[in-house]
Amino acid sequence: MEPTLFIINPAAGKSTGNVKRLVETFAQRHAGHIEIVQTTHGGHAADIARQTDFRRVVAVGGDGTVNEVINGIVGSKKTLGVIPAGSGNDFIKAIGLVNSVPHALNCLVNGSTATIDVGSIRVISADQSSSDTHFVNGIGVGFDATVAVNAGNIRYLTGTSRYLVAVMKTLGTYRAPEFSLAVNSRVFKGKYLLIAVGNGPCAGGGFYLTPDAKPNDGLLDVCLIDDLTIPGILTVMPKVMRGKHGSHTAVHFERGSELSISAAEPFRVHADGEILGKDVITVEVGIVKNGISVTVPGRQQQEI
């Protein structure tokens, strides 16, 4: 068993206490190889991951916790591990993990290591302030990001149900700005309901917006959905949940290694479900090929 640091986000999900007990039991079986810490505030997981000498750092939480950990280890020789304990758990779908704590713990013992890409993003706000960060699963602009904001205010649901309620709260209030989007050398302009950029296929707790995205191909998949009426959104949404929306006339896919998104009106942006800004005017996105190593399921695994 490789020496491993578990970073637990106690605010990630309703069942985090039970997950912590499973991790502690696992640690007892592998005494001397494991340390467990809990986060106490936003950004804490990134600081812990950055400062630790452990070569494998396991994010115990949701996609937001994974996002913090990868921002702490990108550019280093540390390996990411994931124990799904959040409300969405979308990133695990990109690396083949089952949404099961025992399965994920077993993976740490019997799995293998793969190298995957990491996205980079610069966000420029209306006041010209800017911030730079990384993401591992995907980013969302427009309606998608507004849904993420509303989902963050819903505490009584998790998973897909939480995001479906957030979608319903967003319908009728969101107004799409006029976007200008450049994917490599190709330029697109129009009123888009949402712009989703995927390093992985799934976002929002079960919406396969970029169903063909692969985290190790050196490219980012882009899903553009034209501005739609409420009936149009309700028509396309079930298709998105199955990754079958490509046949809809309002849906367009692109793929590239760098892109920029801008609009005259401020818009919202999320990365791995975490809100990066609510008054953004420009987003610049790139990719760090083979940016991190991650523990993935092996060919044969036995129950712990």
- Residue-range domains of the chain with CATH: 4-110 (3.40.50.10330), 119-290 (2.60.200.40)
16 token code pair:
């985090």
pLDDT in tens, 217-265: 999 999 999 999 999 999 998 999 999 999 999 999 999 999 999 998 9
Q: Which residue type is seen at 128?
A: Q
168 — phi, psi (to 5°)?
Answer: -60, -35
Q: Does 304 have pLDDT greater than 80?
A: no
* pLDDT computed for residue 15 by the predictor: 63
* pLDDT computed for residue 215 by the predictor: 97
140 — phi, psi (to 5°)?
Answer: -135, 140
pLDDT in tens, 167-177: 888 887 888 89
| Residues of the chain above pLDDT 70, percent | 96
* pLDDT computed for residue 303 by the predictor: 38
Average pLDDT over residues 36-48: 95
Q: Does 300 have pLDDT greater than 50?
A: no
Rounded (10°) angle between helices 230-242 and 159-170: 160
pLDDT in tens, 79-112: 999 999 987 899 999 999 999 999 999 999 999 9
CB contact at 8 A, 11 and 152? no
* pLDDT computed for residue 14 by the predictor: 57
* pLDDT computed for residue 301 by the predictor: 39
Give just the sign of the alpha carbon dihedral 132, 68, 90, 304.
positive
Q: Does 59 have pLDDT greater than 80?
A: yes
- Alpha carbon distance 155, 197 (integer Å): 26
- DSSP H helices in 206-263: 230-242
Left, alpha or beta for 15 (phi > 0: left; psi -120 to 50: alpha)?
alpha
Calculate the average pLDDT of the chain.
Answer: 91
Q: Which has more pLDDT, 16 or 2? A: 2
Q: Does 43 have pLDDT greater than 90?
A: yes
Q: Which has more pLDDT, 114 or 145? A: 114
Count of residues making up the chain: 304
> Residue 13: pLDDT band by 50, 70, 90 thresholds?
low
For residue 87, give the nearest of 245, 206, 227, 250 by alpha carbon: 206
